[in-house]
Amino acid sequence: MKRIVSNAIVVLFALWFFQNGVRPEKKADFHYDDFAHLPVKYEGRKKPIDTLARNMLTILSGKQSVRTQAGRRSAVEWFLDAVSGRPEAFDYQVVRIENLDVLTNLGLEERKGFRYSYNELLPSLGRIDSAYRAAYAKENRDRDLYDRQIIKLGNKLYTFQNVLGSFEDPSAVPQEQLLATAQRYMQLENYSLPLAIPPTSGNTRWRPLMSVLLASHPAMQGISGHTVSVDPLGIHMGVMLAAYRDGNAAVFNQQLDQYNQTLRSENPAALEKISFEVFYNRLGAFMKSAQLYLLVFVLSAFGWLFRKDGMLAAALTLMIVAFVPHTFAIVARSFLSGYPPVTNLYSSAIFIGWGAVLAAIVLELGFRKKAAGIGNLVGGIAGFSTLLIAHFLAGDGDTMQQMRAVLDTRFWLATHVITITLGYVATFVAGTIGFFYIVSGLFTRRLDEETEDGMYRMMYGTTCFALLLSFVGTVLGGLWADDSWGRFWGWDPKENGALLIVIWNAIMLHAKYGMMVKHCGFAVMAVFGNIVTAWSWFGVNQLSVGLHSYGFTDSATFALAVFVVVQFAICIAGLTPFRRWKSGATQ
């Protein structure tokens, strides 16, 4: 029966997981799927328009689809509506504004979802720009909540306007402004604008559509120093967008086919990895795995509390099933970006979750007799929570952006960063086991002597690994710093945070070996290790100082504070006298 249940879980999972990953059939009208596969270069990385559209919509609204009066539209459909200039696109409610003070100052009413259209914001763009410049001119420590929110809104709108401008039709530009416009776009041909036209035989670099169309504009012939240059890809793209704006599906599809044919003959390298990235986007592996991890946690909680071995076995199978696509997605990201798995806060979250689930699988298989179900609980909650954190961190746009020069070294990313991140993993796993140790002991009768001994052994073993990995990772970080900046250690906040993890794990083991704490005390210290590690992972970045503050995001401050309060409360609860524990555990 267990084998039948396990096989059924795998089959149902496969059907559910891959239902959106296959290439959809072409629609009868516009070939949105083919358009989604067109390459574009933005923020230093080549990607499909599908990725650009999803990232832009995520930045603006926090979602990857738009609800309209005519129904829900995908990110690519919304993107085409916007860049082609369809009037209805600017009535879509896609700009999320959560701060009530900002809404009041812009004369907008609070509404469900907190999303507003570009046309609703249009009368207030001048006011937003003035407030943005005033807030941006302040030092970071002097900015209040309103300043940070208006900067956030301004960044959204400026990014959106830059993207629209790069696809703009130059026929709308007055002739006397053509030269100034062309020069401005030449200056912006870097990370600021999406470069939608790949190099061809007559064009040696990636360029924005607007720039290419300006170069082919007949009026440019009469301007001194400029001659007309016709890029076939630019012409096809321009006609394609005009046809879409006019609702002419036949011309749109024809120009799209000709664009693809020209690109395959002129520059087939521009299409490398594009189809695979579209498949990766549509698969949505991380969020699907997160949902399964949550189900693993629920099944494991019931199975562990009520000693249902069948539930625990099903939860273990489901966790392994969810771990496979989690692994695939991490490998796919490395393949697409060309970097090791951990390069920023987003990738560190999904990698920490991956490592925690792997450790949980090993613990569950290794302690099935003494503490069955604990590995499932740890893997379920760790996998779900870290992937949820990653989901919110993805709101800033592309999560596979080009690395800045000081970090663009694959050797150190593959050694120091992965090792130190695995140190985070081991410390969090020990702390999570300690969390369940205290909660189950206080509120249930499930923590019997055998289970208690198994959980303690789990905490002790993972803490040993945590000390080893965090120490080696910190030393490797010093070597990288010496290689990059000419000094091994500089007491930078991030360096101090990494050292705190090493010191705390060492203190835990010293306390254990010196018999200063027993099983319960060790669990309390393990939970406090979660606070130390969270501070090193996220907290020091909130200071926005130091050479290592590459991943600053003020959206993490509140969540970090809540996490610390909860963990500290569990530590205090763990100090409750044993006679008050429901399990009656004796140490």
Among candidates 277, 269, 273, which has minimal Cα distance to 53? 277
The whole-number pLDDT of residue 91 equals 95
pLDDT grade, residue 190 (50/70/90)? low
**C-beta of residue 109 within 8 angstroms of C-beta of residue 61:** no
Residue 72 DSSP class: E
* Domain-terminating residue out of 227, 247, 271: 271
What's residue 222's pLDDT? 54
Q: Are 267 and 358 in contact (CB under 8 A)?
A: no
Q: Calculate the CA dihedral of residues 103, 109, 110, 111 and round it to 10 degrees.
A: -130
pLDDT bracket for residue 211 (50, 70, 90): confident
Q: How confident is the model at residue 224 (pLDDT cuts 50, 70, 90)?
A: very low
Mean pLDDT for the chain?
87
More confident residue, 414 or 387: 387
- The mean per-residue pLDDT over the stretch 349-368 comes to 95
Q: What is the pLDDT of residue 141?
A: 76
What is the C-alpha to C-alpha distance for residues 586 and 452, in angstroms, rounded to an integer? 10
Through-space distance between the first and last CA atoms of the chain, rounded to whole angstroms: 39
Instruction: Give the number of domains in the chain.
Output: 2
**Residue 365: inside a domain, yes or no?**
no
pLDDT at 499: 94
- Domain assignment present for residue 394? The answer is no
In the predicted model, what is the mean pLDDT of residues 568-578? 93
Q: Which residue range is the domain that position 494 belongs to?
A: 403-580
Q: Given a cut of 90, is residue 504 above it in pLDDT?
A: yes
Task: Please state the rounded mean pLDDT for residues 234-254.
Answer: 94
Query: Which of the listed residues 243, 271, 299 is the one where a domain comes to its end?
Result: 271
Query: Average pLDDT of 555-570?
Result: 86
Q: Tell whether 80 is covered by a domain.
A: yes
Flag whether 291 is in a domain: no
CATH number at residue 478: 1.20.120
In angstroms, rounded to a whole number, what is the distance separating the alpha carbons of residues 447 and 581? 10
Flag whether 329 is in a domain: no
pLDDT tens digits, one per residue of 62-93: 999 999 888 899 999 999 999 999 999 999 99
- By the 8 A CB rule, do 146 and 102 touch? yes
Q: Among 234, 252, 271, which residue terminates a domain?
A: 271
- 516-538: per-residue pLDDT in tens? 999 999 999 999 999 999 998 88
Q: For the residues 390-396, what does the mean pLDDT come to?
A: 84
As a whole number, mean pLDDT of residues 503-514 equals 96
Q: How many CA atoms lie within 13 A of 316 on its CB side?
A: 24
The closest alpha carbon to 425, from 474, 482, 353, belongs to 353
Q: Which residues pair with 93 in a beta bridge?
A: 117
Of 218-222, 300-304, 369-373, give the lowest mean pLDDT range: 218-222
Query: What sign does the dihedral 530-534-536-542 (CA atoms) show?
Result: negative
Is 510 domain-assigned? yes
Residue 27's pLDDT band (cuts 50, 70, 90): low
Res 15 pLDDT > 90: no
The confidence score (pLDDT) of residue 587 equals 44
Residues 265 and 411 reside in one and the same domain: no
Which of 25-29, 193-197, 499-503, 555-559 is predicted least confidently?
Answer: 25-29
Structural contact between residues 426 and 469, judged by C-beta atoms closer than 8 angstroms: yes
Per 3-state DSSP, what percentage of the chain is helix, strand, and coil (rounded to 5)? 70, 5, 25
Nearest to 352 by CA among 531, 218, 500, 533: 533
Question: Running DSSP on this structure, what letter comes out for residue 86?
Answer: -
Please tell me the predicted confidence (pLDDT) of residue 69.
Answer: 85
Between 491 and 26, where is the model more confident? 491
Whole-number pLDDT of residue 585: 46
Give the rounded percent of residues in the chain with a pLDDT score beyond 70: 85
Residue positions counted in the chain? 587
Q: Among 445, 468, 463, 446, which residue's Cα sits nearest to residue 523?
A: 463
pLDDT bracket for residue 185 (50, 70, 90):
low
Kindly state whether residue 535 falls inside one of the protein's structural domains: yes
The answer to whether residue 225 scores a pLDDT higher than 60 is no
**Pair 302, 308: CB distance under 8 Å:** yes
**Which range is least confidently modeled, 204-208, 237-241, 333-337?**
204-208
The band of 173, judged by pLDDT with boundaries at 50, 70 and 90, is: low
Closest CA to 379 of 318, 302, 450, 470: 318
Instruction: Report the amino acid identity of residue 384.
Output: F
d(CA 362, CA 555): 34
Domain assignment present for 92: yes
Asked whether the CA dihedral 464, 469, 475, 478 is positive or negative, the reply is negative
pLDDT reported for residue 149: 92
